[in-house]
Structure 1
Amino acid sequence: MFRYWFLTIYVVVSFFKSMRHLYDHELNDPRISYTKRMHLIHEHAKRFARGCIDQSGSVMTIRQQKKLPDGPVIYITQELNPVTTTLLIGHLEKPFAFMAKRGLFRYPILKQWLKKMAVIHQNQSDDALLEEAKERISSGQSVLLSETYRQMAEAIAEDCDCPLETSGTDRLLTGKIVKRLRPVDVDIHIKAPVMMSEFAQKRA
């Protein structure tokens, strides 16, 4: 229960502090490239996400088979939910766009951050999702998709398709009405990236 309230206080305080960062001149300077701006925004989000994990008392372990190539990649995770997304924002190397339900855009401060992070509205047609994801990749930003969208990932991947697996995230929140936080060991497994040229040869 104490961890739950500590996390709640941390989230509230962090959101108020984020208002100053939202209008930081570095994040809005038109002279900064899209890729550089995404890195700056991602650093703010990463500190927030890691703070949430620290408040839970959990231990993160990252296992990466091979160094990722330069440029944007497509991350694929088995299941995409708020807990998993928070974990990955805090611990993945490359800034990435992801899908979020339209309801999350109702909250003023959160809405501004989601827009700055180039988050994709999930409640739209597959064709629209495909076009938005392609736009992020072509702009130099990585994309995070769930296994449900693997076919879409294979269609838009220009540089590499990087499968990603997580475990232990379902044990971060327990309880029924009021969630109780308890520390757990969480593993993030990043498989070796698959270059699309090699992928095409295997399918031929």
Structure 2
Amino acid sequence: MIRFCCLVIYIVYMLVKNIKQLFNLTMIDPRLSYEKQMKLVYEQPKAFMRGCIDVSGSVITINQTEPIPNGPVLYVHSHLRTADLVLLAGHVPGPVCFIASPKAFRIPFMGKWLERMNVIREEGNPEVMHEYITENLQKGQSMLLSRKGSADPEEIAARLNLPIVMVETEGTDHLLRGTLFKRLKTSEIEMSFNRVYYPAEQKQLRA
């Protein structure tokens, strides 16, 4: 219970503290490339999400067998829960866009940050979601998707000739316990990046 209260205080404090930073980000030099703009935009949110995990006192182990390619990458998780999303978005290299619930956009200050990060608002229409995801990837921004989502990562990656990196997490389901009274628990967290593969190349080989 105490750790959860600390997490709530940390979230509120960081959101209020970075109001000025959010205002400054609305005035980024438009002459900068989209990639450089997003690096500036994501610098503070990534630190914020890492801090959310740090408040729990958990230990994180990262397993990676090979370097991740430059440029836009599709990171795919089997089933993204909130804790998995916060963990991965904070620790995956570079600015990585994701899909968030409409409720998150209604939280004061956080909604503005999500909009500035070009985070995609979850929609009921799969075709609209598909268009938003494609647009972000074509701009050069990596995406974090769930296999249980409305978009098919394999189809998108094959069509845009982009690499997929499957990511796995363990221990995140132990972080937050309780329904009425929430408890933030310390956990041994493991994050694994599997081998990179290109669905477009595999499709050509099968043909």
Rounded to whole Å, the distance in 2 between the matches of 1:181 and 1:15 is 20
- Aligned residue runs from structure 1 range 154-193, under 5 A: 154-157=154-157, 158-193=161-196
CA RMSD of aligned residues (A): 1.8
User: Which residue matches 1:101?
Assistant: 101
Report Cα offsets for 1:13-39 as digits up to 9, x if no partner.
Answer: 101012111012586321222111111
Q: 1:151 to 1:6 in 2, by over 3 A?
A: closer
User: Which residue matches 2:126?
Assistant: 126
Rounded to whole Å, the distance in 1 between the matches of 2:164 and 2:112 is 29
Task: Quote the offset at 1:150 in angstroms.
Answer: 8.4
Query: What TM-score does the superposition give when structure 2 sets the normalisation length?
Result: 0.91
Q: 1:62 to 1:52 in 2, by over 3 A?
A: same
Quick check: 1:172–1:182 contact (8 Å CA) kept in 2? Answer: yes
Task: Quote the offset at 1:45 in angstroms.
Answer: 1.0
Rounded to whole Å, the distance in 2 between the matches of 1:150 and 1:67 is 28
Residue type of the partner of 1:196? P
Rounded to whole Å, the distance in 2 between the matches of 1:21 and 1:169 is 30
Residue type of the partner of 2:17? K
Rounded to whole Å, the distance in 2 between the matches of 1:41 and 1:85 is 18
Query: Structure 1 stretches of 5 or more lacking a match?
Result: none
Quick check: 1:27–1:37 contact (8 Å CA) kept in 2? Answer: no
Residue type of the partner of 1:190? F
Quick check: 2:126–2:151 contact (8 Å CA) kept in 1? Answer: no
**Secondary structure of 2:191's match?**
strand
Rounded to whole Å, the distance in 1 between the matches of 2:33 and 2:27 is 10
Rounded to whole Å, the distance in 2 between the matches of 1:125 and 1:150 is 8
Residue type of the partner of 1:188? M
User: Which residue matches 1:58?
Assistant: 58
Rounded to whole Å, the distance in 1 between the matches of 2:149 and 2:203 is 18
**Secondary structure of 2:94's match?**
coil
Higher helix fraction: Structure 1 or Structure 2?
1
Aligned length: 204
Query: What TM-score does the superposition give when structure 1 sets the normalisation length?
Result: 0.93
Q: Indicate the percent of aligned positions where both proteins have the same amino acid.
A: 38
Query: Structure 2 stretches of 5 or more lacking a match?
Result: none
